[in-house]
């Protein structure tokens, strides 16, 4: 793909740089905020070489170019237009491929206008920039684990220790990065956000309420019981960093400009830290305990194969509702606490069910246009990029979407069974990838369970769709 040529072509058919108020990108799309959307020639954009699909959404125009190309296209568009790309990456996960039916797009968009969805979009904006770090450190940890399995004595090698420590950087810095990104997202000072991320994890906090007989006793909050501030995890850090931005803006309104540099950060840190330690973190700890009990203890450990089936089969409907980003802090916290997230391999089966569905549609349909859509989207579907298959094939056809979700559940059941039977369990040591690519991030060398789940989801998604989910007359819904 020639990104420079594509950028110039896009500018020619959207009304020029003067019609663009801002632009950014996510993992698969260039997102343009247009002043006058009517000036954009959607059909002409679709005809440009390298464009997979176009999604008009009010004043925003999403141009789908696929993973690996979106960021390069953003840079080329910046150079061609003379505009500056937005610093924040928005990712609500909605992608459509080629001529997705208008009613499908309208139905999806109608579910993404509430304050809850706005909250989850903020969460996505906070964590999407961290994903490359999770991938890099996760792969390093995967290599270290394989190395240790081959040679257990390698743990005595200082070079191995340094290599393994490299993979742990994201876990150690996660709270600081999250605080930084949260403050940036809500218009506060990123450095104060970074401090907000560090407040709950100060070593001295463990001794504030220590008794003479037990100096190691953690901080005890009388109102909330014996809860350490750090137990609030990532959610607590985000709330704390958000509060820092609120305090910062409020104090700035009442402080003379000459004293701004001194008083604003000073008051923000003191008031925000007190609120964090005494209120935010204890309450966040209760919330985190409840979420962990529901998703891990109840759904996976007690629910077993049934819990795995339900989690996998219901995940894509959550994506349709736009609330899946709410799971990102949970994955991050599980990785920080355990070194892996048990949820991600189970939820990844949702994309595998879509792959099986797509193969069944490819085999059964006689429609050349639908075959071309499936062929273009299927390779990246195997790699975990499922949006083109979802929005270009299964969701507009409807019944294949249902059979794909049901087929995915069988893969989730296999992975959940493996987690149950494995002492200590296993999971993904990073996030941001799915499909076959996630195999390299499965912890403890238990990747066979994950691959078994993928194969099962492929097979069941195929069989259910082939037998019950697709009929040729459904192709009319794509017109």
Q: How many domains does the chain have?
A: 3
Q: Return the pLDDT at 319.
A: 75
Res. 205: pLDDT tops 60: no
Residue 264 and residue 347 share a domain = no
Res. 232: pLDDT tops 70: no
Residue 79 and residue 199 share a domain = no
Residue 51 and residue 25 share a domain = yes
Residue 473 and residue 345 share a domain = yes
Q: What is the pLDDT of residues 297-345, one digit of tens each?
A: 888 888 999 999 999 999 988 877 666 777 888 888 888 888 899 999 9
Q: Give me the catalytic one of 26, 137, 276, 405.
A: 26
Which contiguous run of DSSP H or E holds residue 34? strand 29-34
Res. 221: pLDDT tops 80: no
Report in angstroms the alpha-carbon separations of 40 from 61, 104, 475: 9, 21, 28
The mean-pLDDT minimum among 16-20, 92-96, 197-201, 469-473 falls in 92-96
Q: In this structure, is residue 94 part of a structural domain?
A: no
Residue ranges making up the domain that contains 16:
3-86
Q: Which of 168, 196, 171 is nearest to 181 (CA)?
A: 196
Residue 261 and residue 210 share a domain = yes
Could you give the CA distance from residue 377 to residue 98 in angstroms, rounded to a whole number?
A: 11
Q: What is the pLDDT of residues 412-462, one digit of tens each?
A: 999 999 999 999 899 998 887 889 989 988 988 899 999 999 999 999 999
Residue 345 and residue 280 share a domain = no
Last residue of a domain, one of 263, 291, 319: 291
For position 78, which CATH number holds?
Answer: 3.30.1360.60
Residue 466 and residue 348 share a domain = yes
Across the strands, what pairs with 23?
32
Question: Is the overall model pTM greater than 0.75, yes or no?
Answer: no
In eight-state DSSP terms, residue 38 is G
Q: Return the pLDDT at 318.
A: 80
Q: In this structure, is residue 124 part of a structural domain?
A: no
**Res. 102 pLDDT band, cuts 50 70 90:** very low
Q: In this structure, is residue 156 part of a structural domain?
A: no
pLDDT averaged over every residue in the chain: 83
3-class secondary structure, 382: helix
On the CB side of 386, CA atoms within 13 Å amount to: 30
Could you give the CA distance from residue 194 to residue 179 in angstroms, rounded to a whole number?
A: 5
Torsion angles phi and psi, residue 444, rounded to 5: 65, 15
Res. 26: pLDDT tops 90: no
Query: Would you call 276 a catalytic residue per the annotation?
Result: no
- Residue whose entry in the numeric block shows the structure tokens 């499922």: 386
Q: In this structure, is residue 184 part of a structural domain?
A: yes
Last residue of a domain, one of 57, 86, 115: 86
**Res. 231 pLDDT band, cuts 50 70 90:** low
Give the ranges where 130-217 is alpha helix by DSSP (H).
131-150, 158-167, 169-185, 190-198
Res. 362: pLDDT tops 80: yes
Residue 410 and residue 375 share a domain = yes
Q: In this structure, is residue 117 part of a structural domain?
A: no
Residue 207 and residue 281 share a domain = yes
Task: Compute how many other C-beta atoms are within 10 angstroms of the C-beta atom of residue 467.
Answer: 10
Q: Which of 128, 36, 116 is nearest to 86 (CA)?
A: 128
Last residue of a domain, one of 86, 113, 146: 86
């Amino acid at each position: 793909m020639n990104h420079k040529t594509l950028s110039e072509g896009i500018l020619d058919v959207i009304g020029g740089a003067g019609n663009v108020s801002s632009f950014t990108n996510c993992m698969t799309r260039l997102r343009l905020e247009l002043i006058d959307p009517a000036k954009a020639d959607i059909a002409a954009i679709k005809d440009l070489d390298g464009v997979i699909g176009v999604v008009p959404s009010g004043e925003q125009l999403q141009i789908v170019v696929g993973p690996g190309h979106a960021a390069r296209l953003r840079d080329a568009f910046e150079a061609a237009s003379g505009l500056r790309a937005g610093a924040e990456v928005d990712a609500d996960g909605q992608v459509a491929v080629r001529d997705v039916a208008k009613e499908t797009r309208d139905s999806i968009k109608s579910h993404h206008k509430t304050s809850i969805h706005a909250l989850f979009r903020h969460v996505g904006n906070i964590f999407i920039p961290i994903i490359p770090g999770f991938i890099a450190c996760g792969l390093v940890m995967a290599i270290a684990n394989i190395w240790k399995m081959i040679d257990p004595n390698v743990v005595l090698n200082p070079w191995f220790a340094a290599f393994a420590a490299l993979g742990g950087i994201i876990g150690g810095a996660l709270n600081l990065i999250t605080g930084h990104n949260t403050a940036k997202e809500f218009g506060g000072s990123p450095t104060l956000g970074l401090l907000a991320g560090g407040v709950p994890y100060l070593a001295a906090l463990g001794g504030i309420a220590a008794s003479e007989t037990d100096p190691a006793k953690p901080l005890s909050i009388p109102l909330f019981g014996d809860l350490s501030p750090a137990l609030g995890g990532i959610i607590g850090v985000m709330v704390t960093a958000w509060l820092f931005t609120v305090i910062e803006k409020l104090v700035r309104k009442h402080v003379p400009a000459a004293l701004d540099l001194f008083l604003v950060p000073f008051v923000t840190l003191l008031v925000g830290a007190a609120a964090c330690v005494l209120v935010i973190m204890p309450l966040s700890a209760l919330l985190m305990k409840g979420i962990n009990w529901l998703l891990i203890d109840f759904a996976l450990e007690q629910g077993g194969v049934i819990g795995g089936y339900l989690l996998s089969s219901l995940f894509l409907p959550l994506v349709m509702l736009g609330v899946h980003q709410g799971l990102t802090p949970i994955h991050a916290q599980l990785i920080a606490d355990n070194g892996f997230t048990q949820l991600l391999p189970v939820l990844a089966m949702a994309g595998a069910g879509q792959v099986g569905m797509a193969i069944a549609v490819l085999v059964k349909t006689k429609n050349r246009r639908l075959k071309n859509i499936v062929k273009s989207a299927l390779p990246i579907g195997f790699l975990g990029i499922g949006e083109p298959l979802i929005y270009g094939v299964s969701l507009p056809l409807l019944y294949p979407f249902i059979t794909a979700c049901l087929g995915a559940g069988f893969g989730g059941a296999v992975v959940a069974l493996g987690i149950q039977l494995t002492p200590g369990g296993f999971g993904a040591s990073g996030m941001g990838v799915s499909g076959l690519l996630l195999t390299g991030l499965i912890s403890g060398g238990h990747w066979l369970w994950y691959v078994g789940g993928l194969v099962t989801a492929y097979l069941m998604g195929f069989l259910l769709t082939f037998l019950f989910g697709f009929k040729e007359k459904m192709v009319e819904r794509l017109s």
